[in-house]
Amino acid sequence: MLAAHLDPTTDAASRRPEAIRATVDHLVGTLGLVPGSHLLDLGCGPGLYAMEFARRGLCVTGVDLSAGSVAHARQRAAGDGLDIDYRIADYTRTDLGGPYDAAVLIYLDFGVLADDARGRLLTAVHAALRPGGTFAFDVKTPARTRVSDGHIGVSWQDAGFWRPSPHLLIETSYRYDGDLDLDQHAVVDGDGITTYRIWDRAYSLTALRSLLVRHGLHPTAHWENLTGRKWHRRSPTVAIAAVRR
């Protein structure tokens, strides 16, 4: 998975370098961040966004559950002379510290959270932001492309996202009402069968606004994605910025 994050030719785990830079440029400008502003990068992974924010003079804290990703991020930051505070933690179950001028959750991670984890996250983000601080994130919309319910794909992988060694991959898609998807990935190798289930909820702009306001976060802007592309009703994703008041 770390290799997928670091591969600059694919969007499998992280977006390509040019998209990362465009995202950071847009957020820095739109959120009014300046050198010395404090930013919280939730689900920071190997630090690809955190380093770009730090290069622009921001004081960055990155939180991620993966010890391997954080170790890589710390090594890269040290090698580039960047002072970034990386923490290994589940961002839905930890004190996020603060106060921060902004918090970001990038690349559609919000949609994979269960309802209780989502509520804990929004409560924690509200507590971590200073009054007037902004939370920005992206998520899929009901207009996203969906494969059909019950779709099954079977492929042999010499190496891939789930394993660095040869394995059989069986992927099954399940679709519930208009908003909830389940993608199941069964990996068959010498250790047996391991199944990974990824739930993903889509949100309309109206639903997002209502949810955020209930947690004391008030939407101020939205786009199709975090590079600032204009949103329209058929956009497959929506990015939103909400201010703590």
What is the full DSSP assignment across 146-179? -PPTT-EEEEEESS-SS-SS-EEEEEEEEEETTT
3-state secondary structure of 10: coil
CATH of the domain at 136: 3.40.50.150
**pLDDT value, residue 5:** 46
**pLDDT value, residue 1:** 53
Range of the domain at 175: 152-201
Based on the fold, state whether residues 104 and 129 are members of the same structural domain: yes
Helix ranges (H only) for the chain are 2-6, 17-30, 48-55, 67-79, 115-128, 205-214
Is 147 within the bounds of a domain? no
- Element holding 131 (H helix, E strand): strand 129-140
Based on the fold, state whether residues 196 and 211 are members of the same structural domain: no
Based on the fold, state whether residues 156 and 233 are members of the same structural domain: no
Q: What is the mean pLDDT of each run of 10 residues along the chain (245 residues)?
A: 51 71 97 98 96 97 96 96 97 96 96 95 98 98 87 92 93 89 95 95 96 98 97 96 96
**pLDDT value, residue 32:** 96
Based on the fold, state whether residues 89 and 109 are members of the same structural domain: yes
**pLDDT value, residue 117:** 96
Based on the fold, state whether residues 132 and 182 are members of the same structural domain: no
d(CA 148, CA 86): 40
Based on the fold, state whether residues 197 and 208 are members of the same structural domain: no
Q: Both tokens of residue 208?
A: 């997002």
Based on the fold, state whether residues 163 and 68 are members of the same structural domain: no
3-state secondary structure of 245: coil
Nearest by Cα to 169 from 156, 150, 151: 156
CA 177 vs CA 22, 78, 146, 201, 225: distances in Å: 34, 47, 12, 10, 24
Based on the fold, state whether residues 85 and 189 are members of the same structural domain: no
**pLDDT value, residue 167:** 96
d(CA 14, CA 170): 23
3-state secondary structure of 9: coil
